[in-house]
């Protein structure tokens, strides 16, 4: 039975409507209740209820996140400092230790010192940029990150001769592979600027390239010869 009425009148639920009510929750949870959909198609009231609930569910699912005010971090940071959980800024102990150790040859010293300082700055910049990139989802690659990677690559080329030839070749193959990924993603984005997946892979390739270069520069400084 399905009653129709004017504005403000109650809708008398038929047996089918009551079954619909009873099964609606399961249906919305993904249960196999084909009777629910069939009844919703026949009954205007129940159809409206189902349509509304599906909309409510999907709207809730897609609800965007809110940005907290900046004072939240300021308060958290102040407490962490007060409690001693945040220590002095990160230092690359390895570099310091290396600099304090005896250096076998003056020429190598001068060269590596230059590399070390260059590398430190580049790595520091990379880490800063990477930390920023973490929260900037699916956006274009930061020009600063690209430039930093490019400078790290130049530093790698400059002292890769000191690496074990096998390792040097491996790094070069990795960089070639990542450069291929970067080129392909750029080309795709030029044709399909809306392709977020290509953008995601592009940022990914740059980030990975920075990591590979970081690893190569660290290895070149101490090991792998």
Partner 1 sequence: MASIPSRASKAASDAELIARAQRGDEEAFAALFEVHKRRVYSLCLRMTGDTAEAEDLAQEAFLQLFRKIGTFRGESAFSTWLHRLVVNVVLMHLRKKGLQQVSLDEPDGSQDEPVKREYGDDDKRLLHSIDRITLSRAIEGLPPGYRAVLVLHDVEGYEHNEIAQILDCSVGNSKSQLHKARLKLRELLRSQRLPASMSGS
Partner 2 sequence: MVMAARNEFRLTKYLYVPFALLIPAGFLMAAGQERAEKTFRALPNCHIHISNPTGGTIVVRGWDKSEVHAVCVTNSAKVEVDSDPTPDNAEAERLEFVTHVLDQEATPEERTTNYELDVPKEASLIISSPTGSVSVEHVTGDDSIESVNGAISVTDGAGFIQVRSLNGDITLLRPAGHVEATSIMGNLTITGSESQRINAQTGSGKITFDGDFLPIGDYTLKTYAGDINVICPSSDSFALDAHSLRGKLDNQFKLNPKPRLHSRSLHGASALGRINRGEASVTISSYNGAIHVRPRQ
Interface residues with partner 2 (CB under 8 A) are 30, 57-58, 61, 164-167, 170-171, 173-174, 177-178, 181, 184-185, 192, 194-198, 200-201, 205, 208, 212, 215, 219, 222-225
For the chain, first and last CA: distance in Å? Answer: 86
Distance (Å) of CA 132 to CA 27, 74, 139: 43, 17, 12
Q: Which is nearer to partner 2, 49 or 53 (CB)?
A: 53
> How far apart are the C-alpha atoms of 57 and 53, rounded to whole Å?
6
CB of 10: closest distance to partner 1 in angstroms? 6
Taking the complex as a whole, the smallest distance from the CB of residue 158 to partner 1 amounts, in Å, to: 25
Q: How is residue 11 written in tokens?
A: 């809708």
Supply the minimum distance, in Å, between the C-beta of residue 84 and partner 2. Answer: 23
Q: Is 157 helix (H, G, I), strand (E, B) or coil?
A: helix
| Site residues (vs partner 1, CB under 8 A) | 5-13, 17, 21, 24-25, 28-29, 45, 48-49, 51-53, 55-57, 59-61, 63-69, 71-73, 75-77, 79-80, 83, 85-87, 89-90, 127-128, 130-131, 133-139, 199-201, 203-205, 207-208, 211
Residue with the two structure tokens 């809110």: 66
Backbone angles phi, psi at 219, to 5 degrees: -65, -40
Please identify, using beta-carbon distances, which residue of 55 and 74 lies nearer to partner 2.
55
Of 42 and 222, the one with the shorter C-beta distance to partner 2 is 222
Query: How far is 54 from 18, CA to CA, in rounded Å?
Result: 19
Phi/psi-derived region of residue 8, left when phi > 0, alpha when psi is between -120 and 50, beta in every other case: left
Least Å distance, CB 33 to partner 2, is 13
Q: Answer for the pair 196, 138: CB distance below 8 angstroms, yes or no.
A: yes
Q: Which does 170 bind (CB under 5 to 8 A by kind): partner 1, partner 2, none?
A: partner 2
């Amino acid at each position: 039975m399905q009653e129709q009425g004017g504005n403000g009148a109650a809708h008398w639920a038929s047996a089918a409507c009551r079954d619909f009510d009873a099964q609606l929750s399961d249906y919305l949870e993904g249960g196999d209740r084909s009777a629910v959909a069939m009844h919703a198609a026949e009954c205007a009231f129940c159809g409206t209820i189902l349509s509304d609930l599906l909309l409510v569910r999907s709207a809730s699912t897609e609800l965007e996140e809110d940005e907290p005010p900046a004072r939240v971090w300021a308060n958290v940071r102040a407490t962490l400092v007060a409690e001693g959980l945040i220590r002095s800024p990160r230092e690359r102990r390895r570099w310091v230790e290396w600099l304090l150790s005896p250096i076998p040859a003056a020429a190598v010293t001068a060269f590596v010192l230059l590399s070390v300082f260059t590398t430190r700055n580049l790595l520091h910049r990379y880490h800063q940029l990477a930390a920023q990139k973490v929260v900037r989802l699916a956006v274009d690659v930061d020009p600063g990150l690209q430039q930093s990677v490019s400078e790290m690559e130049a530093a790698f080329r400059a002292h890769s001769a000191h690496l074990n030839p096998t390792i040097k070749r491996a790094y070069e193959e990795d960089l070639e592979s990542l450069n291929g990924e970067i080129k392909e993603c750029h080309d795709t984005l030029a044709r399909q600027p809306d392709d977020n997946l290509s953008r995601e892979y592009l940022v990914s390739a740059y980030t990975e390239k920075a990591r590979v270069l970081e690893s190569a520069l660290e290895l070149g400084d101490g090991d792998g010869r």
